[in-house]
A and B are shown apart, each in its own frame.
Chain A
């Protein structure tokens, strides 16, 4: 399709930009442009059609099934958008006096209260802009804690299991820690003996996702957090998979000290381009003095901002992505104390239904009940037919299904990681199961047809290698 620049025709324009109400300012000569900006000339209809066409080329959760493992692509209720669009939330400025934004402070205060209740934490900062940012902030808290006790210099290691999200070692490295990997046991949980051998006076923290990326709830969790605490380390909860347990069990009760949430996953707000995200970082009371600046507290006059005594400072401007928090609070209030655990149970039920049906033909490397997601291994299929996890993922696109997470976790070869979420009906799951079955049989009958997939999408199979090796990141105007 044509880019906006390619649709441009000189002389065409948009006349609906209002006249400026502030006086013009002449930049100093050395900062002024020498040549006019190379902007496309377009009518409103050109722009409207361009973006509408783009929207036809993508697959979002509003188009169809989107079982992207560990991403919790649940349907986001439209009421969240409605509430977040209220002018009382959109027409404020972060620098206006706090006494004129009491309602907004109340949103942050209530969201903090409910999210602490759900997670078993005592305080929460909404500054982090997404999950990995929340992890980074959480490790800053852990670092500040160890330094405040005088053993920050010797606690240099962060332990992560081999099934961890890649962001865990990345966040540890960004904080100057060395990462230590511990292997999984045969059930897919943390190998306790390996963990006992890994902890010591140099342990700063263990970072853990529970349920983990195999969709397995680690039944040894109390023992795991005790082993780390006994060694003087803290335990970090990666909240990516909270959807499976919200309202049922609390990370705070499992022994976790710090947590981040992906409220754009778990609490019904859009991801990515529909976002932005929000990755609040919560902690137990003993870590609260280190939280980022501008903590929300409730006192006799209502909600106000306070500055934690030994704050790590700011990790982002102002109060984070506030409107995402508005949507999450809307979601929590809509579901309530009864609906939140029901949503979690629905996600576990849907995942187990799909897993049981798919295991009739596909290999499931870890037996037993799963939580909200599960992993298939297509290693045998690839060995026998040459059809890889990538081929199956591409074929799903031809059937109006977004591919699951591929080649992750790394400990499962030819992995497809499926998370149906609670918002899908049995009919949607049954149709998806049928598609998976049809693709499996097509792989054994005519492997070549799957190497050719997708056939019915706007663009066929993309050259991912070339795109990664030689990315074209900007439009370069044709000078002729």
Chain B
């Protein structure tokens, strides 16, 4: 699967896509879902949560392990993808459509990579 070129990526394997200047959608990358295997539970954040760039946003559980998902930006969670509560497999099936949370009122941002730079990070880890 190719990483969409209009998305941005962070080294901890989350993607973000700008909905408008001050609002992003966040999910996990294809590399991350493949490494974790079949997801069985997404512990979504709560609308109103304040996030800190580089700190855990929420966690996801696969048959292998539980992993933290890190917030790529500081801001406020203004929406969550409730469909994932009953259907965590959507992340495995379409990681770049299955957004986890929407974060607005952004005050800080992690180092963002474009698709090519992120693919180099993945190649290094393999």
Given contacts A469-B88, A469-B89, are A410 and B65 in contact (CB under 8 A)? yes
**Please, how many angstroms separate the alpha-carbon atoms of A468 and B88 in the complex?**
11
Evaluate contact between A468 and B65: CB separation under 8 angstroms: no
Evaluate contact between B64 and A407: CB separation under 8 angstroms: yes
The smallest beta-carbon distance between B60 and chain A, in angstroms, is 12
The smallest beta-carbon distance between B104 and chain A, in angstroms, is 26
Given contacts A469-B88, A469-B89, are A166 and B66 in contact (CB under 8 A)? yes
Does residue A15 face the partner (Cβ distance < 8 Å to B)? no
Interface band, chain B: 10 to 19
Evaluate contact between B65 and A469: CB separation under 8 angstroms: no
**Please, how many angstroms separate the alpha-carbon atoms of A468 and B38 in the complex?**
10
Evaluate contact between B66 and A468: CB separation under 8 angstroms: no
Q: Which of B61, B63, B66 has the most C-beta atoms of chain A within 10 angstroms of its own C-beta?
A: B63
Give the A-B pair count, Cβ closer than 8 A: 20
Give the chain B neighbours of A407 by CB distance below 8 A.
64-65
- Interface of A, secondary structure class, is mixed
Does residue B41 face the partner (Cβ distance < 8 Å to A)? yes
Give the chain B neighbours of A406 by CB distance below 8 A.
64
Does residue B121 face the partner (Cβ distance < 8 Å to A)? no
Which chain B residue has the least Cβ–Cβ distance from A471? B40
Give the chain A neighbours of B66 by CB distance below 8 A.
166
Give the chain A neighbours of B38 by CB distance below 8 A.
464-465
Of A166, A410, A468, the residue contacting B63 (CB under 8 A) is: A468
**Please, how many angstroms separate the alpha-carbon atoms of A408 and B38 in the complex?**
17
**Please, how many angstroms separate the alpha-carbon atoms of A465 and B87 in the complex?**
12
Interface band, chain A: under 10
Interface of chain B residues 23 through 58 with chain A (CB within 8 A): 38, 40-41
**Please, how many angstroms separate the alpha-carbon atoms of A406 and B66 in the complex?**
14
Which chain A residue has the least Cβ–Cβ distance from B38? A465
Evaluate contact between A465 and B65: CB separation under 8 angstroms: no
Give the chain B neighbours of A469 by CB distance below 8 A.
40-41, 88-89
**Please, how many angstroms separate the alpha-carbon atoms of A407 and B62 in the complex?**
11
Evaluate contact between A468 and B64: CB separation under 8 angstroms: no
The smallest beta-carbon distance between B16 and chain A, in angstroms, is 23
Q: Which of B61, B64, B66, B88 has the most C-beta atoms of chain A within 10 angstroms of its own C-beta?
A: B64
Give the chain B neighbours of A465 by CB distance below 8 A.
38, 40, 63, 89
**Please, how many angstroms separate the alpha-carbon atoms of A433 and B18 in the complex?**
54
The contact string, 1 if C-beta is below 8 Å from chain B, for chain A 409-444, is 010000000000000000000000000000000000
**Please, how many angstroms separate the alpha-carbon atoms of A406 and B62 in the complex?**
13
**Please, how many angstroms separate the alpha-carbon atoms of A465 and B39 in the complex?**
8
The smallest beta-carbon distance between B11 and chain A, in angstroms, is 15
Give the chain A neighbours of B88 by CB distance below 8 A.
469
Give the chain A neighbours of B64 by CB distance below 8 A.
406-407
**Please, how many angstroms separate the alpha-carbon atoms of A407 and B37 in the complex?**
11
The smallest beta-carbon distance between B114 and chain A, in angstroms, is 26
Q: Which of A166, A408, A410, A469 has the most C-beta atoms of chain B within 10 angstroms of its own C-beta?
A: A469
List 17 A-B residue pairs with CB atoms under 8 Å apart, sorted by A's residue number: A166-B66, A406-B64, A407-B64, A407-B65, A408-B65, A464-B38, A464-B63, A465-B40, A465-B63, A468-B40, A468-B41, A468-B61, A468-B63, A469-B40, A469-B41, A469-B88, A469-B89
Interface residues of A (CB under 8 A from B): 166, 406-408, 410, 464-465, 468-469
Q: Top 8 nearest A-B pairs by Cβ distance? A: A468-B40, A465-B38, A407-B64, A464-B63, A469-B40, A465-B63, A468-B63, A410-B65
Interface residues of B (CB under 8 A from A): 38, 40-41, 61, 63-66, 88-89
Given contacts A407-B64, A469-B88, 16 further A-B contacts (CB under 8 A): A166-B66, A406-B64, A407-B65, A408-B65, A410-B65, A464-B38, A464-B63, A465-B38, A465-B63, A465-B89, A468-B40, A468-B41, A468-B63, A469-B40, A469-B41, A469-B89
